Structure 1
Amino acid sequence: MAPTRLRRGMAMAGAGLSATACDLARFGELMRREGEWSGRQLIPASVLHDVQRGGDPTKFNYTTLPGYRSQWWVTQDELGTFLGRGMHGQVLYVAPKAGGGALSVAPGSGELR
């Protein structure tokens, strides 16, 4: 697969994951389960805990989603929610304490309201 190109022909490195909706949903479930899948630890749980902590809120001034860490937006809500957001409005919503998540792949502006 060819990389996504910007207008000037340069490869875009900040986005461009190509996956099916089913693959993204499975990835969200892997994240919700702290990296464990079918009895195997595929991602160290410590990595997921680091994501869920989010960044330093004193250095991050974005009111809609108060944290960002390792390519994930972190809500700091009671469900431990964190989100992966695509450049065309896709959202992978992971809520570990709710026992689930959601995926939206509909094209949109990318704005989360």
Structure 2
Amino acid sequence: MIGQVENVTRFGLFVRIIADENDLINPSVKILRENADENSVSKKVGLLRWSAVPKGLPKIQIGDLIGISIEKEHENGKIDLVYQEKNFKSTYGTFLEKSEQALQKLQELNKEIR
């Protein structure tokens, strides 16, 4: 899965889950769905504790994309995450490229509508 860091705290990173393996099958549909309505964007945010982040990584900042997996979903809605080492270029390069293309098309359509 891909997550985007939303907040950095003293006890860990709050990460929004923005894509999973199912989204990689047809990413342009996912991007179109997400951009159609703000309410359709993933609301799933989990906590990646510092103890689960490998030492020696470059500094992680808000907005960074990181590899994650869900360790546990609690009944109260909280989600515990685990860091996954990902080479985004080789693993998600096609997905990210198609997503960027879909976003550019949407921006062009929005300009035409206005």
- TMscore range, shorter length: under 0.3
**With CA pairs under 8 Å and 6+ residues apart, which has the higher RCO, 1 or 2?**
2
Task: Considering fraction of residues, name the structure with more helix.
Answer: 2
Structure with greater strand percent: 2
TM-score, structure 2 length as denominator?
0.23
